[in-house]
Amino acid sequence: MTSEEFRRHGRRVVDWIADYYDRVEGFPVQSTVTPGEVYAGLPPHPPEQGEPFADVLADLERVVLPGITHWQHPGFFGYFPANASFPAILGDLLSSGLGVQGMLWATSPAGTELETLTLDWLAELLGLPPAFRSTGTGGGVIQDTASSSVLVALVAALHRTSGGASGHVGVTGQYRVYCSQAAHSAVEKAVRIAGVGSDNLRLVDVDPVTQALRPDHLGALIEADQAAGVVPVLVVATVGSTSTTAFDPVAAIGELCRASGAWLHVDAAYAGVAAVCPELRWVNDGVACADSYATNPHKWLLTNFDCDAFYVADRATLVGALSVLPEYLRNTATASGAVIDYRDWQIPLGRRFRALKLWCVLRWYGAEGLRAHLRGHVALAQEFAALVAADERFEVMAPHPLALVCFRLRGVDQPNEALLARLNAGGRIFLTHTRVNGAYTLRLAIGSPLTQETHVRHAWQLIRDSA
């Protein structure tokens, strides 16, 4: 493809994307294809001769689009949002256009320094402690996901606990990891991958009303483990749980970590970005005592997947855990010690220039624009929760300080399961579910940049009328 052809097809692709947003509301939110339908809709063999780009776009429209669940649809209320925005899309395009691989500072200095700056900006916007800035003892790095951040935190914690014995995970049963029953499944995945093993993950009880980790139970578990000669290595505190946006008491957990020597990782994947709004800054209360912290601009901060902001208070421990320097990567900049090599802050060697999209978002919206985006959704969620609470057939199941509302029909589970199936089959809205204290519960998470008050009111009408 010549640069002239790229200009032509590129304009068509940009137009296609813009048109997609203009018409997205007309599609059923959830794809209705059956398993295998997309696969069967395309040729089973790769083309021997190159094909016109227009044919690719035609297949995109004909086969791919019906197989898309429209996460940017204003009626998408499932899971947590995966925000996209035009400035982020443009930033991603620029990243593709530059085509750099930023494993080392030396492989593209701007790739590293723009990421350092952008994460310092984000730390300032979120009011994170000074240690998490590059100007302090730690710093930020973009990981692909919050799941990777938990794993990286665990590897750093093992490194610290084992006194810097690199790669030492000890014998099974030597180390323990703790998180609440409401923590994300990424914690169990991390203990499996790191070789600590699921058997060494302790699930801490939660308060039945707030769903937050009970520090008294955490303290008892740690004490019993220490008495048995087992070493607490990591505690994951959740700030805004996936199920209900529960907030673990980070400061109290931090006390227990300090006393036991365990690393404290704060998983604020969804909720952390809310701290851009001063009135929501409480979400990050207590993180000054954390060893690491992660939040996902790719959920609710208008930045296309993937973009997880991971911060550590002590970068030396992280780099000590992950740095392996083979001859073919040696260079004078690294040897000088004056630069960051982000390959030492993550699991893979190679890395995309993801800072560009976050930088584009922060510059386009500014702090004010980001606050307006978040506040709009919080207000809509409060309005929705009030509508649910005013209908005596329903009950609200958990506190809802942000933009997720958990609710159900009073009584047994089955009518709730049937209600969710009916709503999602209708194609106008899409919700997912969880269990709260064992009860089947519907989740309505507001987060699409296109969602307006009319969409939320319409969603409530559909729910009320389908119940």
Minimum CB distance to ligand PLP smaller for 103 or for 239? 239
Stretch that binds ligand PLP, among 14-22, 109-117, 197-205, 266-274 (CB under 6 A): 266-274
Which of 79, 99, 77, 409 minimizes the C-alpha distance to 270?
A: 79
Total residues contacting ligand PLP (rule CB under 6 A)? 14
Q: Are 334 and 325 in contact (CB under 8 A)?
A: yes
The span from the CA of 356 to the CA of 362, in Å, is 10
Overall size of the chain counted in residues: 467
Q: For ligand PLP, which residue of 270, 300, 365, 430 counts as binding (CB under 6 A)?
A: 270
Angle between helices 453-466 and 414-425 (to 10 degrees): 130
Exactly one of 70, 184, 354, 433 binds ligand PLP (CB under 6 A); which one?
184
The set of long-range contacts for 92-95, using a CB threshold of 8 Å and a minimum separation of 24, is 92/304, 92/356, 92/357, 94/356, 94/360, 95/352, 95/353, 95/354, 95/356, 95/357
Can you read off the two tokens belonging to residue 132? 């998490």
77 contacts: CB under 8 Å, gap ≥ 6: 429, 430, 431, 443, 444, 445, 446, 447, 459
Cβ–Cβ < 8 Å for 91, 331: no
**Smaller CB separation from ligand PLP, 104 or 405:** 405
88, 128, 156, 269: residue in contact with ligand PLP (rule CB under 6 A): 269
Amino acid at 67: G
**Residue 308 touches ligand PLP, criterion: CB under 6 A:** yes
H or E, element range at 408: strand 404-409
Task: Find the shortest distance in angstroms from Cβ 434 to ligand PLP.
Answer: 11
**Shortest gap between Cβ of 80 and ligand PLP (angstroms)?**
6
Instruction: Output the smallest distance, CB 15 to ligand PLP, in A.
Output: 30
Q: Binding to ligand PLP by residue 267, rule CB under 6 A?
A: yes
What character string, x for contact with ligand PLP (CB under 6 A) and - otherwise, covers 335-374? ----------------------------------------
Number of C-beta neighbours around residue 143 at 10 A: 26
Among 200, 244, 292, 296, binds ligand PLP (CB under 6 A): 296
C-beta closer to ligand PLP: residue 128 or 404: 404
Q: Which is nearer to ligand PLP, 134 or 242 (CB)?
A: 242
Beta strands in 181-267 (DSSP E): 201-204, 231-238, 263-267
Least separation in angstroms between residue 381's CB and ligand PLP is: 16
Among 449, 447, 441, 444, residue whose Cα is nearest residue 462: 444
27, 71, 77, 80: which one binds ligand PLP (CB under 6 A): 80
Task: CB nearer to ligand PLP: give 239 or 360.
Answer: 239
Place of tokens 């800072």: 355
Among 72, 107, 118, 145, binds ligand PLP (CB under 6 A): 145
**Residue 238 in contact with ligand PLP, rule: CB under 6 A:** yes
- Choose, by CB under 6 A, the member of 30, 147, 303, 317 that binds ligand PLP: 147
Binding flag, residue 186, ligand PLP (CB under 6 A): yes
CB of 430 to ligand PLP, least distance (A): 17
**28 or 447: CB nearest ligand PLP:** 447
What is the Cα–Cα distance from 53 to 67, expressed in whole angstroms? 20
Q: How far is the CB of 180 from ligand PLP (least distance, A)?
A: 11
Q: Determine, following the binding rule CB under 6 A, whether residue 248 of this chain makes contact with ligand PLP.
A: no
Contact 394, 408 (CB under 8 A): yes
Looking at the DSSP assignment, which residues form a beta bridge with residue 311? 140, 293
Give min distance, CB of 64 to ligand PLP, in A: 22
Per CB under 6 A, residues contacting ligand PLP are: 80, 145-147, 184, 186, 238, 241-242, 267, 269-270, 296, 308
